[in-house]
Chains A and B, each alone.
Chain A
Amino acid sequence: MPFARPSRRPFCALTVLFLTLAGPAPAQEDDSALVRIAFLKQLVDRPPALSNLDEASDDIGVSGGQLAIRDNNTTGRFIKQRFELDVSVVPADGDPVLAFAQLVADGHRLIITDLRVDTLLSIADRSDAKDVLIFNASASDDRLRNADCQPNLLHTTPSRAMLADALAQYLAWKRWSRWFLVVGRREEDRLFAAAIRRAANRFGAKIVEEKEWTYGPDARRTAQSQVPVFTQGIDYDVLMVADEIGEFGEYLAYRTWEPRPVAGTQGLVPTPWHRTHEQWGSVQLQNRFRETYGRWMAPVDYAVWMAVRSIGEAATRTGSADLASLAGYIRSDKFELAAFKGRKLTYRDWNGQLRQPILLAAPRSLVAVSPQKGFLHQVSELDTLGYDRPESGCKRK
């Protein structure tokens, strides 16, 4: 198999882009063991942009994977291992299940995905996926970690519960405990709101009011009159927004009846990665990403990077390229991943979720990193975020 030569392999020729990518080509080392990884992504139809500030990019996730492959190959060169990433990008109206089947038929057993929850579940459930290890790098749905969990799924992206808990811990520390929850019109907004309600309950906050945002998606001309009325007459500390795609949340700050901070999906946001993050050597990762791809690393890039690095770490430590030993090692208690969060990251054995600190970021400053000091746990402080072993409905173990 050719190495480090981008080669186009047509399958489902018109609808799917399929590339073989590898890191910087070290000298041809034919005796080195090859670890093949695939990244499967489905593009989504984006709503009209509300702001011209954020540039959307179709290579989100792909670049994170490529950078990690490069990192893995730099290491692999010393121990005769090399890593390859096959990227399969399916358009919004394409068939990701078919693309997945193609990857499996092509011999892939390590597949990283950027797919929506239903697609991911229908893939993980397939008979040809039984021997595939799937890394979910984008779906934050809690049901994937609980009732709908699958034995072949690992999650490098945090769940909504983890994000909400991370935010709640910080607000508890601030004693800003009365929340006014505003929920958007979409299903994912309702799921985020559910995670916020659960977090309030866990960390002693109270939802003093909850309202659905019914003014429609684009408030840029009307917010000044709508938001004060919408928030009038309520006594609260923090306005909590559930608006995952950003239809209205940005228009709440500075327009509320009372002067109150905004948090949730806008304002102070919980996120696995953010451009303001520079601690624990993350400047190095931010720099090499920006220099290579000309944009900031997105959370999904980071989640894909961690998935590829998890595989790389397992390959380095086991000295093996064999799927069973890699998967076994990743799931064992020996596994640990360094991912610029100031502590080692490991996978929860009950639902395959990667434990990780969560950043709390304002647009231009990192406010805090959760778990917050003082939230103790008998196993790992990181397990104060999200569904802990006794709470998870997952019966994979």
Chain B
Amino acid sequence: MRTIVRMVLTTAVGVIWSVGAQAVTVYVSNEKDNSISVIDGETYEVLRTVPVGQRPRGIILTKDHTRLLICASDDDHIEVLDLETLEVIGTLPSGPDPELFVMHPDGKLLYVANEDDNMVTVVDIEAGKVVAEVPVGVEPEGLGLSPDGRVLVNTSETTNMAHFIDTGTYEIFDNVLVDNRPRVAQFTKDGKYVWVSSEIGGTVSVIDTLTREVVQKISFEIPGVQEEAIQPVGVRLTSDGKLAFVALGPANRVAVIDQKTYEVKKYLLVGQRVWQMTFTPDEKRLFTTNGVSNDVSVIDVEKLRVRKSIAVGRFPWGVVVAP
């Protein structure tokens, strides 16, 4: 009897919470399944699993939200998925082994990290052409673009640097050394700082974008979790400047950090080997990809609670939310 009551209560709470949530669609790339999972953002049901190119990792929405661009790493190009028909309608050049990319705020240019080629490739989406190549460090991965689109920060995993690139000239104007194996770079909304996660170093460096000095190094400590298992990868910052979320990989947790004081407020237990994350447009929910448990966790940003996990394909990597 008690169990039934509890079930009813849980369901009721679940329904109320999802009704309040913004109607969105979530897209997840499954690195080992060569597919994209399409998830209903309200019911959390997987609507479709769409076959795409080999080893899909980074994904991004076009500015008009009608297409999904997919880094098909082992096919050495970017695929264009029409979100109306859910069919791959074309490809874009990317340079070899594209892993992750960001889009200029005007929606015209893509900046692609070519992991095997020590290069950042700049692609004109409309023209389908490579317009520039910027040589960077060994195994480039993380890409962060300043809110005004003028500065691109690229991290290279084996060089251990954040390269500051002028998007007007495609010249590197500064290099900041961070801890081992930097994975993700993320600008604050005001453009004053860029947060860089170091997977093997186990830290997040906050870099002042004017002086290019590391002003803060955040480290993590979780009771009962080996220090070596704490491997920061994904970073997401709320645009009100209050909270930061850092995915800690095999520690299976997302750290919640105060953006102002850099104090770690909480660790949220999610699936195994959590890497990438993304907010809903209203920033009330955060989706995480958990590569080893093959699922996506849904975090309630206001309550700082994990609400749900959604089973997807093998090795979920990238995640985006379409309004």
Beyond A74-B138, A284-B115, A317-B177, is A344–B228 a contact (Cβ under 8 Å)?
yes
Beyond A78-B161, A78-B163, A336-B180, is A343–B137 a contact (Cβ under 8 Å)?
no
Give every chain B residue within 8 A of A344 (Cβ-Cβ): 180, 200-202, 228
Beyond A336-B201, A344-B201, is A74–B228 a contact (Cβ under 8 Å)?
no
A281 is contacted by which of B118, B139, B226 (Cβ under 8 Å)? B139
Give every chain A residue within 8 A of B294 (Cβ-Cβ): none
B-facing mask of A45-66, CB < 8 A → 1, else 0?
0000000000000000000000
The reply to whether B228 and A281 form a contact with Cβ atoms under 8 Å apart is no
Give every chain A residue within 8 A of B161 (Cβ-Cβ): 75, 78
A284 to B96, CA, bound (A): 12
The reply to whether B158 and A71 form a contact with Cβ atoms under 8 Å apart is yes
Give every chain B residue within 8 A of A281 (Cβ-Cβ): 139, 157, 181
Instruction: Answer yes or no: B18 CB below 8 A from chain A CBs.
Output: no
Can you name the residue of chain B whose Cβ is closest to the Cβ of A79? B175
Give every chain B residue within 8 A of A78 (Cβ-Cβ): 137, 159, 161, 163, 172, 175
CB distance from B90 to the nearest CB of A (A): 26
Instruction: Answer yes or no: B33 CB below 8 A from chain A CBs.
Output: no
CB-contacts of A42-100 with B (<8 A) = 71, 74-75, 78-79
CB distance from A165 to the nearest CB of B (A): 18
CB distance from A197 to the nearest CB of B (A): 30
A316 is contacted by which of B97, B160, B250 (Cβ under 8 Å)? B160
The reply to whether A338 and B180 form a contact with Cβ atoms under 8 Å apart is yes
Most central of B137, B177, B200 by chain A CB within 10 Å: B200
Instruction: Answer yes or no: B116 CB below 8 A from chain A CBs.
Output: yes
Give every chain B residue within 8 A of A338 (Cβ-Cβ): 157-158, 160, 180-181, 200
Prevailing SS type, chain B contact patch? loop
CB distance from B137 to the nearest CB of A (A): 6
Beyond A78-B172, A316-B177, A338-B180, is A284–B160 a contact (Cβ under 8 Å)?
no
B159 is contacted by which of A74, A287, A317 (Cβ under 8 Å)? A74
A-facing mask of B119-141, CB < 8 A → 1, else 0?
00000000000000000011100
CB distance from A189 to the nearest CB of B (A): 34
The reply to whether B160 and A287 form a contact with Cβ atoms under 8 Å apart is no
CB distance from A255 to the nearest CB of B (A): 36
The residues of A with any CB-CB pair to B shorter than 8 Å are 71, 74-75, 78-79, 281, 284, 287-288, 291, 309, 313, 316-317, 336-338, 342-344, 381
Can you sample 9 A-B contacts with CB below 8 Å? A74-B118, A75-B137, A79-B175, A281-B157, A316-B159, A338-B157, A338-B200, A344-B201, A344-B228
